[in-house]
Amino acid sequence: MISAFKRTTIVTTITLLLCGLALQPAWSQMKKAASKVTSVKNIATPAEPWWQHAVFYEIYPLSYQDTNGDGSGDLKGITSKLDYLKTLGVDAIWLTPIYPSPLVDFGYDISDYIAIDPKYGTMADFDKLIAEAKKRDIRVIMDLVMNHTSDKHKWFIESSSSKKNPKRDWYVWKDGKTPGQPLNNWQSYFGHSAWQLDPKTNQYYYHKFYIQQPDLNWNNPRVKAAIFDAARFWLKHGVAGFRLDAVNTLYEDPDFTDEGIVKDKDGKPIINAYGDPTLDDTKTSNLPKLHEVLAGLRAVTDTFPGQRVLIGETYMPNVAELAKMYGPRNDELQLPMDTQIGFINKLDVATFRQKILEAETGLNGNLPLLVFDNHDNHRLDVRYGDGTHNEDIQRVLATLLFTTRGVALMYYGDEIGMKTSTPTRKEDVKDPIGVSGWPKEKGRDGERTPMQWDDSANAGFTTGTPWIRIPADYKTINAKAEVANFNSMLNWYKELITLRRTQPSLRDGNYVALNTTDNNVLSWLRQAPGKPAVVVACNFTAAPQNVSIDLTGVGLGGKSAKTLMKTPGSSDPASLTTIQLPAFGVYVGEVQ
């Protein structure tokens, strides 16, 4: 089972019109957003780090915008979309890997850490992107893959050339247990044994991911020095920080003994999508030594001016483990991803309330980095949709992302409501796990399809042949159409981001859970000292719900509220005690 990123398919196997003049303020605001390109500056005070209130936006460069007609996105394409991103309200873009790579894992198999893959452009294109982004107050985050390299990286080519090669111990090499049998039962997240026999030297190398992604040996100080040097290279180029890939898997337990097999309630092994028993991951994930690396890298980034930031791909088992990723003195990651909340994958009020509470109380006061979507998991429609109200459900999720207390990380295309488009034929699959795992595991192509810019050929993504199939729904789901439609998902996102910036309580306020016994509607309050509080209520059900909010407990008893945002078509409440929410409806109001 993939615990580094929880593939939905695997988890599932295992697991109006305006009504009345009263709406005018909110709707006229939305209309403005739809018709005029506006952007609101983030009002960070100089003392606080920029990232604390930031909106991060993940870009899968292969799929964002092609400018040379080769069918794959490139850096110039991203640069050409910076105005769009600015208008949306993005503060920083995270680019998944753009280093030279054989692209077995679409860039997560790096063959040179200090260059740009010609597929994406040149170093000059990269510098231009940074400079143009800076003009717009947008920062650029690189993806740093520390766990493994490509097997085509010169380090591995040297390492595998002989047992005596000076780079031999840059990777994890072991003799087999017996001839033809690896040392232990450890498995790759991408299926089958994590050990690959190298016939030349008759030893096995360890790979937590694809065979073509040998794990680096982090017990070797030279590995650490080389990767930290690569980080310095990009920091000097002006990147604002890194998203650290698969950090949990940097170390393996030095005893190299078998991992436990996970069993179901009847004591039978749980079989994963690749037909292997699921292992408990205790020997190959989240080993304590990784914290030394994180603290070391943080010391490096902290020597650079401009508050560089470390984001972690941190699928942790619980909030206590997540808390550790910030470091004992807040000296490790500033922003480990909180996947506890965004990947609940079920609209369940009690679970959301509980997970938000845990983030509030269990992270030593640190901000959670909220994330609901990325390039490894099916998009929101599949993980949360009910097939009938998918758009409204997505509005709920976006509201959670931008109005609870936390830093927000979103995935390209979410803002226009792009849907998962999983291949229906094995021969179309690009992601190797989709080939090896077919039909149970169809891979990650469905969430990596090109950004849908407009309704022209290939969704305006490329003039060539797209590297991956473009979903047919681009004719209606596209950025151009949505800019013009004030009811669109795009305008919902813009409006939420604007509110988050302009309402002091949404920026800096405490989070207070409201109506905590209600299992249909999740309601909360954000309140900054001396500023108007903001109430949010989200209907998690397909049935209309009536909500009555009493703010006596927070010293605001009897107050009314002015509507800031609400689901298109829903009516304005006469008071906080009579909020009527349609199916999966949202209400956001400023307490007065």
Per annotation, catalytic residue among 109, 143, 151, 245? 245
- Which of 3/563 has CB closer to ligand NOJ? 3
Strand order in the sheet with 195-198: 173-174, 203-206, 195-198
- Which of 2/451 has CB closer to ligand NOJ? 2
The helix (H) or strand (E) run that includes residue 565 is strand 561-566
- CA-wise closest residue to 151 among 213, 88, 85: 213
Residue 179 token pair: 């001839």
107-110: Cβ within 8 A, 24+ apart: 107/61, 107/62, 107/143, 108/143, 108/145, 108/209, 108/213, 108/245, 109/148, 109/149, 109/150, 109/151, 109/152, 109/210, 109/212, 109/213, 110/145, 110/149, 110/150, 110/153
* CA–CA gap between residue 231 and residue 142 (Å, rounded): 9
Q: How far is the CB of 96 from ligand NOJ (least distance, A)?
A: 7
Residue 187 token pair: 């498995």
Residues at the site binding ligand NOJ, with contacts judged by CB under 6 A: 4-5, 105, 108, 145, 209, 245-246, 313, 375-376
Residue 313 appears among annotated catalytic residues: yes
DSSP assignment string, 179-206:
TTB-SS--B-TTSSBSEEEETTTTEEEE
Per annotation, catalytic residue among 215, 259, 313, 332? 313
**CB proximity list for 536: less than 8 A, separation 6 or greater:** 399, 403, 404, 523, 524, 525, 526, 586, 587, 588
* CA–CA gap between residue 580 and residue 576 (Å, rounded): 10
Do β-strands 309-312 and 586-591 pair in parallel, antiparallel, or remain unpaired? unpaired
**CB proximity list for 224: less than 8 A, separation 6 or greater:** 218, 293, 296
- Which of 246/583 has CB closer to ligand NOJ? 246
Closest CB to ligand NOJ belongs to which residue? 108
Q: How far is the CB of 426 from ligand NOJ (least distance, A)?
A: 20
CB 403 within 8 A of CB 506: yes
CB 495 within 8 A of CB 482: no
Q: How far is the CB of 14 from ligand NOJ (least distance, A)?
A: 19
Q: How far is the CB of 208 from ligand NOJ (least distance, A)?
A: 8
Do β-strands 139-145 and 173-174 pair in parallel, antiparallel, or remain unpaired? unpaired
Strand, helix or coil for residue 495 = helix
Cα–Cα distances in Å, from 325 out to 50, 95, 244, 581?
A: 20, 22, 12, 38
- Which of 194/583 has CB closer to ligand NOJ? 194
- Which of 443/585 has CB closer to ligand NOJ? 443
Q: How far is the CB of 575 from ligand NOJ (least distance, A)?
A: 46
For residue 252, the tally of other CB atoms under 10 A from its CB is 23
- Which of 89/423 has CB closer to ligand NOJ? 423
Residue 495 appears among annotated catalytic residues: no
**CB proximity list for 305: less than 8 A, separation 6 or greater:** none
Q: How far is the CB of 6 from ligand NOJ (least distance, A)?
A: 11
- CA-wise closest residue to 113 among 153, 80, 84: 153
Residue 194 token pair: 């994590």
Q: How far is the CB of 410 from ligand NOJ (least distance, A)?
A: 15
Q: How far is the CB of 132 from ligand NOJ (least distance, A)?
A: 26
CB 294 within 8 A of CB 325: yes
- Which of 4/297 has CB closer to ligand NOJ? 4
Q: How far is the CB of 459 from ligand NOJ (least distance, A)?
A: 23
Residue 258 token pair: 């078998």
Buried b / exposed e over 412-422, threshold 16 CB at 10 Å, is bbbbbbbbbbb
Q: How many residues does the chain have?
A: 592
Q: How far is the CB of 381 from ligand NOJ (least distance, A)?
A: 20
For residue 182, the tally of other CB atoms under 10 A from its CB is 18
The pair phi, psi for residue 320, each rounded to 5°, is -65, -40
Active site residues: 245, 313
